Structure 1
Amino acid sequence: MTNSFNDTILKAFRGEPTEHTPVWYMRQAGRSQPEYRKLKEKYGLFEITHQPELCAYVTRLPVENYGVDAAILYKDIMSPLPALGVDVEIRKGVGPVIHNPVRNRQDVENLGEIDPQSDVPYVLDTISLLTKEQLNVPLIGFSGAPFTLASYMIEGGPSKNYHKTKSLMYRDEETWFLLMDKLASMIITYVQAQVKAGARAIQIFDSWGGALHAADYRKFIKPVMDRIFRELRKEGVPLILFGVGAPHLLGDWDELPIDVLGLDWRTSITEAREMGIQKPLQGNLDPAVLLSEWDVIESRAKSILDEGLKYGPHIFNLGHGVTPEIKPETLRKLTELVHTYSKNN
């Protein structure tokens, strides 16, 4: 690390004042970057993540290209599942495909446990490489949350309605909670290993939790989320929770022992504060806005920054991930805007 370490985002995660609003982007590593697209012509996602030098390169690219205040590890929420015995393939144009989906209690009982050092050493080696030699900003590690991981494991892949997942949850509560406990143990162990390797913050993606009614979330998901975050608090790093389409769950998420609550574009910072949420907020520009003309992007970004400056603490991000169509120069220009506008206002 040749430059001085930029810890601005860690201060914001802790609710401390900062000279400017820090910024990073979900899925900033890869996606729209030409260097990444060239690599993808030769390697699949899992092939990249299994090569620490290559994975570290992809992870640090957006820091170098955009000037963001944090890196997020390049990998997929599916990465730890093979260790449990889940046969998962990342299929182009589809996403994760599970070839042995969970259907019953026996399938859940057959799931193994993760040993990060032997099962995902390449993940830990990538983190160590980045944090010891290559980054001058914090590295964010992450994991999927139990419901989101379970939805892929039960549906066999992406879903729009999660009918198979909900069906198992409703008709066999005992099996459901066994699955939640197994996934929680995996997540805790996996994240602890990421922190030990050098990750300075952790984001848990409860991406599809918004598909549940709030009462169902409280019964079937919230207890296991509470267990996960209580264990991870012992690691002493900021904990972020994020999901999409979940404004009805924000009150419940706020009650969890997390440090930062991520918003998608459906809920404004002002609305979240009016709900009584006082934790640092992360978000929440609609990624689709970045396909507009610059004057539209600038106006929308400034509006979010104004809310963040008024109702801080705030970390600027998108309301979901970078899409392949978004131009790298747009993200570079947006990062400069976030930094300069927030510093001068």
Structure 2
Amino acid sequence: MLQNDLLLRVLDGEVTERPPVWMMRQAGRYLPEFRALRDKYDFFTRCQTPELAAEITVQPVDIVGVDAAILFSDILVVPQAMNIPFEMKKGVGPWLEKPVRTANDVAQVIVPNIEERLGYVMEAIKLTKEMLNNRVPLIGFAGSPWTILCYTVEGSGSRDYTTAKEFCFTQPELAHQLLQKITDTTILYLKEKVKAGVDAVQLFDSWGGVLSADDYRNFSWQYLNQIVEALAPLTRVIVFAKGCWFGLPEMAASKAAALGVDWTCAPEIARELTGHKKVLQGNFDPSRLLAPRAEIKKKVKEMITAFGKEHYIANLGHGILPNVPVENAIAFVEAVKSF
């Protein structure tokens, strides 16, 4: 029995005494304890070593006091399992030596055996659950098929993902083949995560906002919704699509338990676009955590008041920045708890 099930109750549609609070990328570089492990082990070693992943996952629960843990991993473990050998290059970030851009490249991409290729993630979930000892729920996650396609076709991060868009617009059949393979793999992967013990899952569509509304529906949402449809009978699904306010009405009609909102969409507009009937999550600007603590607390209260305390999860509008002082992250969490 969970000691703190606030997040799950909100995702189930209950009215709660206060909003739950957690932060995207909360297990990350702003924590000295995380940096100590980063200095000893490279990025994917940390992802692929269950003991390290579990330790990193639990850090923000112990240090910052969030209402949920999110498994330390990366969206790129999924393409890695699909024969797309991403590495994390110093000073560059995600790096793929040979991007996927031809029919032959797409043919080499597989829908893998999840246990064989990603079993280490399931072990990390089991270890994390032991370490959490029923204190808070554990969230699993995956990237949206579109976001993974972006990295896969570009070969690295990009400002506007024009190479990925060109691939989709000039070779749409190939793009849909690749998106479907990523979708099928992601469904299998998240189902295994649920079996291993996660209490909810979040889908990150980090780069959906580079698409027009029509292209978003065609190259992103239809695949995201396949994942939502497959997972919703098994667990609670949160969808976070950065820069995709235009998709909120359609997303609100889906079986997603909650929708994440970034800081460019005002709470009142997000409520209106979702028909005042969906659990919403967000949308504190991560840079606001660099402000004085009194200002953070004031802005948190304004945010919760604007969303309304019911059917709401307090979070950031994107991942926490590495230069945020730990005390400021704690101030954010405490401001929500004391609302």
Q: Normalized against structure 2, the TM-score is what?
A: 0.96
Which residue is equivalent to 1:230?
229
Q: Deviations over 1:111-131 (max 9, x none)?
A: 012222111121100101112
Note the C-alpha offset of 1:255.
2.8
- Distance across 1 between alignment mates of 2:57 and 2:108: 34
Q: Which moved more, 1:95-104 or 1:247-256?
A: 247-256
Note the C-alpha offset of 1:245.
1.8
Q: Which amino acid aligns with 1:208?
A: W
Which residue is equivalent to 1:5?
3
Aligned equivalent of 2:56, options 55, 58, 65: 58
Which residue is equivalent to 2:152?
153
Note the C-alpha offset of 1:223.
2.1
Which residue is equivalent to 1:198?
197
Note the C-alpha offset of 1:324.
0.8
Q: Deviations over 1:186-220 (max 9, x none)?
A: 10011111111001000000110111000111223
Which residue is equivalent to 1:87?
85
Aligned equivalent of 1:111, options 103, 109, 113: 109
Which residue is equivalent to 1:29?
27
Helix, strand or coil at the partner of 1:32: coil
Q: Deviations over 1:298-330 (max 9, x none)?
A: 2211111112336x3100000000111001111
Kindly report which structure 2 residues correspond to 1:320-331, keeping only aligned pairs within 5 A, or say none. Answer: 320-331=318-329
Which residue is equivalent to 2:262?
264
Is the CA contact 2:10–2:311 (under 8 Å) kept in the aligned structure 1? yes
Is the CA contact 1:147–1:206 (under 8 Å) kept in the aligned structure 2? yes
- Distance across 2 between alignment mates of 1:277 and 1:190: 32
Which residue is equivalent to 2:170?
171
Helix, strand or coil at the partner of 1:61: helix
Which residue is equivalent to 1:97?
95
- Distance across 2 between alignment mates of 1:219 and 1:94: 30
4+ runs deviating over 4 angstroms: none
Helix, strand or coil at the partner of 2:24: coil
Is the CA contact 2:207–2:242 (under 8 Å) kept in the aligned structure 1? yes
Which residue is equivalent to 2:139?
140
- Distance across 1 between alignment mates of 2:51 and 2:223: 35
Residue 241, structure 1, aligned to residue 239, structure 2: yes
RMSD: 1.4
Helix, strand or coil at the partner of 2:313: strand
Give % identity: 38
Q: Which amino acid aligns with 1:266?
A: T
Helix, strand or coil at the partner of 2:77: coil
Helix, strand or coil at the partner of 2:23: coil
- Distance across 2 between alignment mates of 1:230 and 1:54: 32
Q: Which amino acid aligns with 1:274?
A: E
Distance 1:42 1:216, change over 3 A: same
Q: Deviations over 1:36-88 (max 9, x none)?
A: 11111111111112221111111000001111110000011111222111111
List gaps (5 residues or longer) in structure 2: none
Which residue is equivalent to 1:213?
212
Distance 1:166 1:87, change over 3 A: same
Is the CA contact 2:293–2:331 (under 8 Å) kept in the aligned structure 1? no
Is the CA contact 1:218–1:252 (under 8 Å) kept in the aligned structure 2? no
Is the CA contact 2:297–2:331 (under 8 Å) kept in the aligned structure 1? no
Is the CA contact 1:12–1:315 (under 8 Å) kept in the aligned structure 2? yes
Which residue is equivalent to 1:250?
248
- Distance across 2 between alignment mates of 1:224 and 1:113: 15
Distance 1:34 1:95, change over 3 A: same
Is the CA contact 2:144–2:220 (under 8 Å) kept in the aligned structure 1? no
Helix, strand or coil at the partner of 1:284: strand
Helix, strand or coil at the partner of 2:192: helix
- Distance across 1 between alignment mates of 2:50 and 2:224: 30
- Distance across 2 between alignment mates of 1:249 and 1:92: 35
Is the CA contact 1:225–1:256 (under 8 Å) kept in the aligned structure 2? no
List gaps (5 residues or longer) in structure 1: none
Which residue is equivalent to 1:339?
337
Helix, strand or coil at the partner of 1:216: helix
Helix, strand or coil at the partner of 1:80: helix
Q: Normalized against structure 1, the TM-score is what?
A: 0.94
- Distance across 1 between alignment mates of 2:236 and 2:191: 13
Note the C-alpha offset of 1:253.
2.2
Is the CA contact 2:187–2:230 (under 8 Å) kept in the aligned structure 1? yes
Aligned residue pairs total 337
